[in-house]
Amino acid sequence: MAETYLGDSEVMCLMHQDHPLAKLEEISPADLDGTPLIQFDAESPPSVLIRESFAKFGVRPRTKMELNFSKLADAMLVPGDVAFIDPFAISPRKALVIRRFVPRIPLSIFMLTPDDASQSRIRQAFIDETRDSIRRMRRSLRLTFTPNG
């Protein structure tokens, strides 16, 4: 399979709008000390990086549950909880807010194609449109860092 880099997102925090941390623009592991967390699957690369960031702050995460799909976090979130999410994977309910998690944990987005796939104009148009959509979504979330695009 061939990989084509399309863009990136980053791990963010989802919570109810009346959560005490919702007033912050950025949330660190220190801010989350003692907070019930909905995390990515324990073996996923983002989850490993989240645990490392907590360790650097000397904080032990209080994991309530682990999910392998961000959209489920929207449905499972109750007042008082904070969920780690890929913001591109959800459209949060009206009573929820998304906040930046620091330190930044990137989520790279790739398209896989067969090695022998020809570079058709249609496929290139799809790649270009997808990259433009990712850029628009990053701007709407004020995500500015991108190593390759």
CATH label of the domain that carries residue 110: 3.40.190.290
Separation of alpha carbons 93 and 78, rounded Å: 12
Band of residue 1 on the pLDDT scale cut at 50, 70, 90? confident
Q: How many domains does the chain have?
A: 1
- Answer yes or no: is 45 within a domain: yes
The model's pLDDT over 5-45, given as tens digits with 9 standing for 90+, comes to: 999 889 999 999 999 999 999 999 999 999 999 999 989 99
Residue 146 is predicted with a pLDDT of: 39
pLDDT value for 119: 72
> Residue 146 falls within a domain, yes or no?
no
What pLDDT was estimated at residue 110? 92
Question: Is residue 79 assigned to a domain?
Answer: yes
Residue 73, pLDDT score: 86
Determine, yes or no, domain membership for 98: yes
pLDDT digits (tens, 9 = 90+) for 73-106: 888 999 999 999 998 887 766 788 999 999 999 9
Q: Give me the pLDDT at residue 143, please.
A: 58
Stated pTM of the model? 0.83
Within a domain: 17? yes
Q: Which domain holds residue 84?
A: 2-140
Instruction: Name 87's Cβ contacts closer than 8 Å, sequence gap at least 6.
Output: 9, 10, 12, 70, 98, 137, 141
pLDDT digits (tens, 9 = 90+) for 101-142: 999 999 999 998 877 766 788 888 999 999 999 888 888 876
- CA 140 distance to own-chain centroid: 14
